[in-house]
Copies of this chain bind each other. A is one copy, B any other.
Amino acid sequence: MAITEPRTLAGFMELLPEDQILFNKLKNKIKHNFELYGYSPLDTPIIEDADILLAKTGGETNRQIYKFKKGDTDLALRFDLTVPLAKYVSLYNYELTFPFKRYQIGKVYRGEKPQKGRFREFYQCDIDVIDKDELSLYADAEIVATINSTFKDLDIGEILIRINNRKILIGLMEYLNLKDKSTKVLRIIDKIQKIGHEEAKTSLKKLGVDENHISKLIDFISIKGTPDDVVNKLKELDIENDIFQTGIQELEIVKENINQLQVPAEAWTYDLSLARGLDYYTGTVYETILKEHPDIGSVCGGGRFDNLASYFSDQKLPGVGVSIGLTRLFYKLKEAEILKSNKTSTTQVLIIPVEDSEYDKVFNVSSQLRDSGVSTQVYLGTKDSLGDKLDYANSIGVEWAVIIGEREKKESKVTLKSMVTGEQLLLPENELTQKLLELSEE
Protein backbone atom coordinates (compact mmCIF):
# COMPACT_ATOMS: atom_id res chain seq x y z
CA MET A 1 0.00 0.00 0.00
CA ALA A 2 1.19 3.52 -0.76
CA ILE A 3 2.27 5.39 2.36
CA THR A 4 1.23 9.03 2.86
CA GLU A 5 4.03 10.82 4.67
CA PRO A 6 2.66 11.88 8.07
CA ARG A 7 3.06 15.61 8.68
CA THR A 8 1.43 18.53 10.45
CA LEU A 9 0.83 21.87 8.72
CA ALA A 10 3.28 24.71 9.37
CA GLY A 11 1.86 27.22 11.84
CA PHE A 12 -0.22 24.59 13.65
CA MET A 13 0.95 23.72 17.15
CA GLU A 14 0.95 20.02 17.96
CA LEU A 15 2.47 18.93 21.25
CA LEU A 16 4.01 15.81 22.71
CA PRO A 17 2.17 14.47 25.78
CA GLU A 18 4.30 16.17 28.43
CA ASP A 19 3.99 19.57 26.73
CA GLN A 20 0.29 19.00 26.16
CA ILE A 21 -0.13 18.46 29.89
CA LEU A 22 1.84 21.65 30.58
CA PHE A 23 -0.27 23.57 28.05
CA ASN A 24 -3.51 22.25 29.56
CA LYS A 25 -2.38 23.27 33.04
CA LEU A 26 -2.12 26.88 31.86
CA LYS A 27 -5.46 26.63 30.06
CA ASN A 28 -7.16 25.18 33.15
CA LYS A 29 -5.75 27.88 35.40
CA ILE A 30 -7.07 30.55 33.04
CA LYS A 31 -10.46 28.87 32.98
CA HIS A 32 -10.48 28.57 36.77
CA ASN A 33 -9.75 32.27 37.25
CA PHE A 34 -12.32 33.34 34.68
CA GLU A 35 -14.95 31.33 36.55
CA LEU A 36 -13.70 32.64 39.90
CA TYR A 37 -14.50 36.14 38.62
CA GLY A 38 -17.99 35.07 37.59
CA TYR A 39 -17.66 34.69 33.83
CA SER A 40 -19.94 32.06 32.31
CA PRO A 41 -18.62 29.58 29.72
CA LEU A 42 -19.47 29.95 26.03
CA ASP A 43 -18.56 27.82 23.02
CA THR A 44 -19.58 29.19 19.62
CA PRO A 45 -18.99 27.41 16.28
CA ILE A 46 -15.60 27.64 14.58
CA ILE A 47 -17.31 27.99 11.20
CA GLU A 48 -19.69 30.87 10.51
CA ASP A 49 -21.37 32.29 7.45
CA ALA A 50 -18.66 34.35 5.72
CA ASP A 51 -20.72 37.55 5.79
CA ILE A 52 -21.09 37.28 9.58
CA LEU A 53 -17.34 37.18 10.10
CA LEU A 54 -16.60 39.70 7.37
CA ALA A 55 -19.29 42.16 8.53
CA LYS A 56 -16.75 44.51 10.01
CA THR A 57 -13.33 43.43 8.93
CA GLY A 58 -11.08 44.89 6.35
CA GLY A 59 -7.45 45.03 5.31
CA GLU A 60 -5.01 42.60 6.87
CA THR A 61 -7.52 40.44 8.75
CA ASN A 62 -9.65 40.02 5.64
CA ARG A 63 -6.67 38.70 3.69
CA GLN A 64 -5.77 36.29 6.49
CA ILE A 65 -9.21 34.80 6.93
CA TYR A 66 -9.86 31.16 5.94
CA LYS A 67 -12.80 31.31 3.50
CA PHE A 68 -14.38 28.47 1.53
CA LYS A 69 -17.57 27.26 -0.01
CA LYS A 70 -19.66 24.24 0.99
CA GLY A 71 -22.39 23.77 -1.56
CA ASP A 72 -23.58 27.30 -2.30
CA THR A 73 -22.72 28.74 1.08
CA ASP A 74 -19.74 31.02 1.68
CA LEU A 75 -18.18 29.98 4.96
CA ALA A 76 -15.27 31.20 7.02
CA LEU A 77 -13.32 30.15 10.10
CA ARG A 78 -13.48 32.58 13.02
CA PHE A 79 -10.35 34.73 13.31
CA ASP A 80 -11.16 35.94 16.82
CA LEU A 81 -13.79 35.32 19.52
CA THR A 82 -15.13 38.88 19.56
CA VAL A 83 -17.07 38.84 16.30
CA PRO A 84 -18.80 35.53 17.23
CA LEU A 85 -19.62 37.11 20.62
CA ALA A 86 -21.12 40.17 18.90
CA LYS A 87 -23.22 37.84 16.77
CA TYR A 88 -24.22 35.78 19.81
CA VAL A 89 -25.40 38.68 21.96
CA SER A 90 -27.31 40.17 19.02
CA LEU A 91 -28.94 36.86 18.15
CA TYR A 92 -29.91 35.93 21.73
CA ASN A 93 -30.50 39.50 22.84
CA TYR A 94 -33.86 38.61 24.40
CA GLU A 95 -32.80 35.35 26.03
CA LEU A 96 -29.64 36.55 27.73
CA THR A 97 -29.43 38.31 31.08
CA PHE A 98 -27.52 41.58 30.96
CA PRO A 99 -24.93 42.49 32.10
CA PHE A 100 -23.74 39.33 30.37
CA LYS A 101 -20.35 38.07 31.52
CA ARG A 102 -18.89 35.31 29.45
CA TYR A 103 -15.53 33.67 28.88
CA GLN A 104 -14.59 31.65 25.84
CA ILE A 105 -11.42 29.62 25.34
CA GLY A 106 -11.14 28.32 21.81
CA LYS A 107 -9.15 28.05 18.64
CA VAL A 108 -9.16 30.81 16.02
CA TYR A 109 -7.62 30.88 12.55
CA ARG A 110 -5.49 33.36 10.68
CA GLY A 111 -3.58 32.53 7.53
CA GLU A 112 -0.50 34.50 8.52
CA LYS A 113 2.80 34.01 6.77
CA PRO A 114 4.27 31.00 8.56
CA GLN A 115 7.27 32.02 10.65
CA LYS A 116 8.77 31.10 14.00
CA GLY A 117 6.34 31.87 16.81
CA ARG A 118 3.48 32.79 14.48
CA PHE A 119 0.52 30.46 14.48
CA ARG A 120 -2.30 29.96 12.00
CA GLU A 121 -4.37 28.06 14.53
CA PHE A 122 -4.18 29.40 18.06
CA TYR A 123 -6.10 29.54 21.30
CA GLN A 124 -7.63 32.77 22.46
CA CYS A 125 -8.87 33.03 26.03
CA ASP A 126 -11.38 35.86 26.19
CA ILE A 127 -13.45 37.50 28.89
CA ASP A 128 -16.05 40.16 28.16
CA VAL A 129 -18.81 41.94 30.00
CA ILE A 130 -21.65 43.25 27.84
CA ASP A 131 -24.61 45.35 28.91
CA LYS A 132 -27.51 47.01 27.15
CA ASP A 133 -27.35 50.78 26.51
CA GLU A 134 -24.88 51.49 29.30
CA LEU A 135 -22.12 49.45 30.92
CA SER A 136 -20.79 50.31 34.37
CA LEU A 137 -17.15 51.38 34.70
CA TYR A 138 -16.85 48.90 37.57
CA ALA A 139 -16.50 46.29 34.84
CA ASP A 140 -13.37 48.00 33.51
CA ALA A 141 -11.74 47.72 36.93
CA GLU A 142 -12.77 44.13 37.47
CA ILE A 143 -11.10 43.15 34.19
CA VAL A 144 -7.79 44.34 35.71
CA ALA A 145 -8.36 42.28 38.85
CA THR A 146 -9.14 39.24 36.70
CA ILE A 147 -5.97 39.65 34.63
CA ASN A 148 -3.91 40.07 37.80
CA SER A 149 -5.41 37.01 39.48
CA THR A 150 -5.03 34.87 36.35
CA PHE A 151 -1.37 35.67 35.76
CA LYS A 152 -0.53 35.32 39.43
CA ASP A 153 -1.93 31.81 39.21
CA LEU A 154 -0.04 31.06 35.97
CA ASP A 155 3.13 31.72 37.97
CA ILE A 156 5.22 32.92 35.04
CA GLY A 157 6.68 36.00 36.71
CA GLU A 158 5.45 39.49 37.53
CA ILE A 159 3.21 41.32 35.11
CA LEU A 160 2.53 44.94 34.35
CA ILE A 161 -0.94 45.82 33.08
CA ARG A 162 -0.67 49.01 31.04
CA ILE A 163 -3.95 50.91 30.95
CA ASN A 164 -5.13 53.95 29.04
CA ASN A 165 -8.42 55.49 28.01
CA ARG A 166 -9.09 56.18 24.35
CA LYS A 167 -11.30 59.16 25.30
CA ILE A 168 -8.18 60.96 26.49
CA LEU A 169 -6.59 60.48 23.08
CA ILE A 170 -9.75 61.19 21.10
CA GLY A 171 -10.41 64.34 23.15
CA LEU A 172 -6.83 65.46 22.68
CA MET A 173 -7.13 65.01 18.91
CA GLU A 174 -10.26 67.12 18.93
CA TYR A 175 -8.64 69.79 21.07
CA LEU A 176 -5.60 69.89 18.75
CA ASN A 177 -7.83 69.87 15.65
CA LEU A 178 -6.29 66.60 14.50
CA LYS A 179 -9.60 64.72 14.49
CA ASP A 180 -9.57 63.83 10.79
CA LYS A 181 -6.06 62.38 11.15
CA SER A 182 -6.67 60.79 14.55
CA THR A 183 -6.56 57.15 13.45
CA LYS A 184 -3.17 57.63 11.83
CA VAL A 185 -1.86 59.77 14.68
CA LEU A 186 -3.00 57.23 17.28
CA ARG A 187 -1.30 54.48 15.37
CA ILE A 188 1.99 56.38 15.60
CA ILE A 189 1.46 57.08 19.31
CA ASP A 190 0.74 53.41 19.84
CA LYS A 191 4.13 52.54 18.38
CA ILE A 192 6.08 55.32 20.07
CA GLN A 193 7.88 53.06 22.54
CA LYS A 194 9.05 50.87 19.70
CA ILE A 195 10.07 53.57 17.22
CA GLY A 196 11.20 56.34 19.62
CA HIS A 197 10.31 60.03 19.78
CA GLU A 198 12.35 61.13 16.76
CA GLU A 199 10.83 58.71 14.31
CA ALA A 200 7.39 59.47 15.71
CA LYS A 201 8.00 63.19 15.16
CA THR A 202 9.05 62.56 11.55
CA SER A 203 5.97 60.42 10.88
CA LEU A 204 3.69 63.03 12.43
CA LYS A 205 5.30 65.77 10.38
CA LYS A 206 4.70 63.70 7.24
CA LEU A 207 1.01 63.58 8.19
CA GLY A 208 1.00 67.36 8.14
CA VAL A 209 0.80 67.89 11.91
CA ASP A 210 2.39 71.23 12.79
CA GLU A 211 5.50 71.49 15.02
CA ASN A 212 3.63 73.15 17.90
CA HIS A 213 1.03 70.41 18.01
CA ILE A 214 3.70 67.73 17.76
CA SER A 215 5.52 68.96 20.86
CA LYS A 216 2.24 69.27 22.78
CA LEU A 217 1.49 65.72 21.85
CA ILE A 218 4.90 64.46 22.86
CA ASP A 219 4.69 66.39 26.19
CA PHE A 220 1.30 64.84 26.84
CA ILE A 221 2.56 61.35 26.12
CA SER A 222 5.56 61.94 28.38
CA ILE A 223 3.31 62.18 31.44
CA LYS A 224 4.48 59.41 33.74
CA GLY A 225 4.15 58.38 37.38
CA THR A 226 1.74 56.62 39.69
CA PRO A 227 -1.90 56.43 38.59
CA ASP A 228 -2.61 59.31 41.01
CA ASP A 229 0.22 61.37 39.45
CA VAL A 230 -1.02 60.69 35.94
CA VAL A 231 -4.60 61.71 36.75
CA ASN A 232 -3.40 64.86 38.54
CA LYS A 233 -1.04 65.86 35.74
CA LEU A 234 -3.81 65.31 33.19
CA LYS A 235 -6.08 67.59 35.20
CA GLU A 236 -3.31 70.21 35.36
CA LEU A 237 -3.06 70.27 31.56
CA ASP A 238 -6.42 72.04 31.79
CA ILE A 239 -7.53 70.98 28.32
CA GLU A 240 -10.98 72.31 27.56
CA ASN A 241 -12.53 69.37 25.80
CA ASP A 242 -15.50 67.34 27.06
CA ILE A 243 -14.32 63.98 25.81
CA PHE A 244 -10.87 64.54 27.29
CA GLN A 245 -12.37 65.51 30.66
CA THR A 246 -14.68 62.46 30.58
CA GLY A 247 -11.60 60.35 29.92
CA ILE A 248 -9.91 61.77 33.03
CA GLN A 249 -13.02 61.04 35.11
CA GLU A 250 -13.07 57.47 33.84
CA LEU A 251 -9.38 56.98 34.63
CA GLU A 252 -10.08 58.28 38.13
CA ILE A 253 -13.04 55.96 38.77
CA VAL A 254 -11.28 52.93 37.31
CA LYS A 255 -8.19 53.69 39.42
CA GLU A 256 -10.21 53.81 42.65
CA ASN A 257 -12.01 50.59 41.88
CA ILE A 258 -8.82 48.78 40.93
CA ASN A 259 -7.43 49.77 44.33
CA GLN A 260 -10.58 48.62 46.12
CA LEU A 261 -10.24 45.30 44.32
CA GLN A 262 -6.81 45.06 45.98
CA VAL A 263 -4.82 44.77 42.79
CA PRO A 264 -1.24 45.51 43.93
CA ALA A 265 0.13 48.88 42.77
CA GLU A 266 3.15 47.25 41.12
CA ALA A 267 0.93 45.15 38.83
CA TRP A 268 -0.56 48.01 36.85
CA THR A 269 0.08 51.49 35.52
CA TYR A 270 -1.51 54.23 33.46
CA ASP A 271 0.35 54.58 30.19
CA LEU A 272 -0.91 57.44 28.01
CA SER A 273 1.03 56.25 24.96
CA LEU A 274 -1.10 53.11 24.78
CA ALA A 275 -3.63 53.46 21.96
CA ARG A 276 -3.95 49.94 20.50
CA GLY A 277 -4.47 49.52 16.79
CA LEU A 278 -8.11 48.52 16.64
CA ASP A 279 -10.40 51.38 15.84
CA TYR A 280 -13.41 50.23 17.74
CA TYR A 281 -12.12 50.75 21.29
CA THR A 282 -13.77 53.82 22.76
CA GLY A 283 -12.74 53.86 26.42
CA THR A 284 -10.39 51.87 28.63
CA VAL A 285 -7.68 49.93 26.77
CA TYR A 286 -5.35 47.31 28.23
CA GLU A 287 -2.08 45.63 27.43
CA THR A 288 -0.10 43.31 29.68
CA ILE A 289 3.60 42.57 29.62
CA LEU A 290 5.80 40.20 31.61
CA LYS A 291 8.12 42.50 33.58
CA GLU A 292 11.12 40.23 33.16
CA HIS A 293 10.38 39.53 29.50
CA PRO A 294 9.05 42.72 27.90
CA ASP A 295 10.42 41.40 24.58
CA ILE A 296 7.57 38.87 24.48
CA GLY A 297 5.25 41.84 23.98
CA SER A 298 1.65 42.02 25.12
CA VAL A 299 0.34 38.77 26.57
CA CYS A 300 -3.15 40.02 27.34
CA GLY A 301 -4.88 42.97 25.72
CA GLY A 302 -8.26 44.44 24.98
CA GLY A 303 -10.50 47.31 25.84
CA ARG A 304 -13.92 48.84 25.95
CA PHE A 305 -16.18 49.38 22.96
CA ASP A 306 -19.29 51.53 23.20
CA ASN A 307 -21.06 49.40 20.69
CA LEU A 308 -19.86 45.84 20.31
CA ALA A 309 -22.52 44.64 17.93
CA SER A 310 -23.30 47.62 15.74
CA TYR A 311 -22.88 45.40 12.66
CA PHE A 312 -25.56 42.98 13.83
CA SER A 313 -28.05 44.99 15.82
CA ASP A 314 -29.63 48.41 16.33
CA GLN A 315 -29.46 47.71 20.05
CA LYS A 316 -26.58 49.54 21.69
CA LEU A 317 -24.44 46.90 23.41
CA PRO A 318 -21.37 48.35 25.13
CA GLY A 319 -18.71 45.88 26.26
CA VAL A 320 -15.31 45.58 27.83
CA GLY A 321 -12.96 42.62 27.61
CA VAL A 322 -9.50 41.24 27.12
CA SER A 323 -7.93 38.28 25.39
CA ILE A 324 -4.94 36.06 26.13
CA GLY A 325 -3.29 34.54 23.04
CA LEU A 326 -2.41 31.28 24.77
CA THR A 327 -0.70 29.40 21.93
CA ARG A 328 1.79 32.19 21.27
CA LEU A 329 2.27 32.76 25.01
CA PHE A 330 3.02 29.07 25.57
CA TYR A 331 5.49 29.06 22.68
CA LYS A 332 7.24 32.18 23.99
CA LEU A 333 7.36 30.90 27.58
CA LYS A 334 9.00 27.69 26.40
CA GLU A 335 11.41 29.60 24.16
CA ALA A 336 12.42 31.88 27.05
CA GLU A 337 12.68 28.80 29.30
CA ILE A 338 10.18 30.26 31.75
CA LEU A 339 8.28 27.03 31.22
CA LYS A 340 10.32 23.88 31.05
CA SER A 341 9.25 20.50 29.80
CA ASN A 342 9.58 17.83 32.40
CA LYS A 343 8.35 14.29 32.61
CA THR A 344 4.87 14.66 33.91
CA SER A 345 1.67 12.70 33.74
CA THR A 346 -2.01 13.15 34.48
CA THR A 347 -1.77 9.61 35.87
CA GLN A 348 -0.68 9.25 39.51
CA VAL A 349 -0.04 5.51 39.68
CA LEU A 350 1.04 2.70 37.37
CA ILE A 351 0.23 -0.79 38.62
CA ILE A 352 2.64 -3.45 37.43
CA PRO A 353 2.19 -7.23 37.58
CA VAL A 354 5.49 -9.11 37.87
CA GLU A 355 3.92 -12.00 35.93
CA ASP A 356 0.79 -12.11 33.77
CA SER A 357 -0.82 -14.34 36.39
CA GLU A 358 -0.97 -11.34 38.71
CA TYR A 359 -3.27 -9.35 36.41
CA ASP A 360 -6.37 -10.42 38.37
CA LYS A 361 -5.00 -8.74 41.49
CA VAL A 362 -3.71 -5.80 39.44
CA PHE A 363 -7.15 -5.13 37.97
CA ASN A 364 -8.71 -5.50 41.38
CA VAL A 365 -6.38 -2.93 42.94
CA SER A 366 -6.85 -0.58 39.96
CA SER A 367 -10.61 -0.54 40.61
CA GLN A 368 -10.08 0.29 44.28
CA LEU A 369 -7.76 3.18 43.47
CA ARG A 370 -9.99 4.62 40.76
CA ASP A 371 -13.02 4.34 43.03
CA SER A 372 -11.14 6.60 45.43
CA GLY A 373 -10.37 9.08 42.66
CA VAL A 374 -6.71 8.10 42.18
CA SER A 375 -5.83 8.36 38.49
CA THR A 376 -4.42 4.94 37.68
CA GLN A 377 -2.85 3.08 34.78
CA VAL A 378 -2.42 -0.65 34.58
CA TYR A 379 0.70 -1.79 32.74
CA LEU A 380 -0.70 -2.85 29.34
CA GLY A 381 2.59 -3.44 27.56
CA THR A 382 3.94 -6.77 26.40
CA LYS A 383 7.40 -6.63 27.98
CA ASP A 384 8.31 -9.46 30.36
CA SER A 385 10.95 -8.07 32.72
CA LEU A 386 10.12 -5.94 35.74
CA GLY A 387 12.95 -3.61 34.76
CA ASP A 388 11.32 -2.90 31.39
CA LYS A 389 8.00 -2.34 33.11
CA LEU A 390 9.57 0.15 35.53
CA ASP A 391 11.25 1.88 32.58
CA TYR A 392 7.77 2.36 31.17
CA ALA A 393 6.68 3.96 34.47
CA ASN A 394 9.61 6.37 34.17
CA SER A 395 8.90 7.13 30.53
CA ILE A 396 5.29 8.08 31.06
CA GLY A 397 6.23 10.20 34.08
CA VAL A 398 4.07 8.68 36.83
CA GLU A 399 5.08 9.44 40.40
CA TRP A 400 4.22 6.05 41.86
CA ALA A 401 4.47 2.44 40.77
CA VAL A 402 2.55 -0.29 42.55
CA ILE A 403 4.20 -3.67 42.02
CA ILE A 404 2.28 -6.90 42.49
CA GLY A 405 4.23 -10.18 42.34
CA GLU A 406 3.66 -13.69 43.61
CA ARG A 407 4.43 -12.82 47.22
CA GLU A 408 2.26 -9.68 47.21
CA LYS A 409 -0.63 -11.59 45.67
CA LYS A 410 -0.38 -14.43 48.17
CA GLU A 411 -0.11 -12.11 51.21
CA SER A 412 -2.66 -9.53 50.00
CA LYS A 413 0.05 -6.92 49.96
CA VAL A 414 1.47 -4.49 47.41
CA THR A 415 4.87 -2.88 46.89
CA LEU A 416 4.60 0.89 46.54
CA LYS A 417 7.61 2.42 44.80
CA SER A 418 8.34 6.12 44.40
CA MET A 419 9.55 6.73 40.84
CA VAL A 420 11.11 9.98 42.08
CA THR A 421 13.25 8.72 44.99
CA GLY A 422 13.29 5.01 44.20
CA GLU A 423 12.21 4.21 47.75
CA GLN A 424 9.83 1.32 48.13
CA LEU A 425 7.53 0.00 50.79
CA LEU A 426 5.60 -3.26 51.25
CA LEU A 427 2.16 -2.62 52.67
CA PRO A 428 -1.21 -4.39 53.04
CA GLU A 429 -3.35 -4.00 49.92
CA ASN A 430 -6.20 -2.43 51.87
CA GLU A 431 -3.93 0.36 53.16
CA LEU A 432 -2.72 1.41 49.71
CA THR A 433 -5.41 3.97 48.87
CA GLN A 434 -5.09 5.71 52.21
CA LYS A 435 -1.29 5.74 51.95
CA LEU A 436 -1.40 7.27 48.45
CA LEU A 437 -3.90 9.92 49.50
CA GLU A 438 -1.66 10.80 52.46
CA LEU A 439 1.46 10.94 50.31
CA SER A 440 -0.17 13.13 47.68
CA GLU A 441 -1.15 15.63 50.37
CA GLU A 442 2.39 16.01 51.62
- Interface of A toward B, CB cutoff 8 Å: 1, 3-9, 12-17, 20-21, 23-24, 35-49, 51-52, 55, 66-71, 73, 75, 86-88, 90-92, 95-99, 101-102, 107, 109, 111, 120-121, 129, 131, 133-136, 138-139, 141-142, 145, 149, 257, 260-262, 309-314, 345-347, 350, 359-360, 363-364, 366-367, 370, 373-378, 380-382, 392, 395-396
Contacts and interface: CB of A to CB of B under 8 A. Distances in A.
B37 A370 contact: yes
A382 B131 contact: yes
Given A1-B310, A15-B43, A346-B35, A70 B111 contact: yes
5 contacts: A24-B43, A36-B375, A40-B346, A97-B392, A257-B363
Contacts of A311: 1, 3-4
Given A36-B370, A40-B347, A131-B381, 9 more contacts: A4-B51, A6-B313, A7-B52, A8-B87, A23-B43, A38-B346, A38-B376, A68-B68, A138-B378
B380 A139 contact: yes
A376 B35 CA distance: 8
Among A5, A38, A136, A364, residue most surrounded by chain B Cβ atoms (within 10 Å): A38
A375 B51 contact: no
A312 B16 contact: no
A79 B41 CA distance: 25
A152 to B, nearest CB: 11
A66 B47 CA distance: 11
Contacts of A363: 141, 257, 260-262
A38 B139 contact: no
A66 B55 contact: no
Contacts of A55: 4
Given A1-B311, A8-B45, A370-B37, A142 B380 contact: yes
A45 B1 contact: no
Nearest to A136: B380
A74 to B, nearest CB: 11
Among A46, A314, A364, residue most surrounded by chain B Cβ atoms (within 10 Å): A46
Contact of A47 (B121, B345, B359): B121
A381 B99 contact: yes
A439 B135 CA distance: 33
Closest 5 CB pairs of A and B: A38-B377, A68-B68, A97-B395, A260-B363, A12-B45
A70 to B, nearest CB: 5
A109 B149 CA distance: 36
Contacts of A99: 380-381
A38 to B, nearest CB: 3
A98 to B, nearest CB: 7
A131 to B, nearest CB: 7
Nearest to A351: B38
Contacts of A92: 16
Given A38-B378, A149-B370, A311-B1, A44 B9 contact: no
A261 B366 contact: yes
Given A37-B370, A312-B6, A121 B46 contact: yes
B360 A260 contact: yes
Contact of A17 (B51, B102, B109, B313): B102
Contact of A36 (B44, B97, B133, B373): B373
A363 B87 CA distance: 31
A98 B129 CA distance: 46
Given A52-B7, A66-B68, A75-B9, A129 B380 contact: yes
A314 to B, nearest CB: 7
A94 to B, nearest CB: 11
A4 B363 CA distance: 58
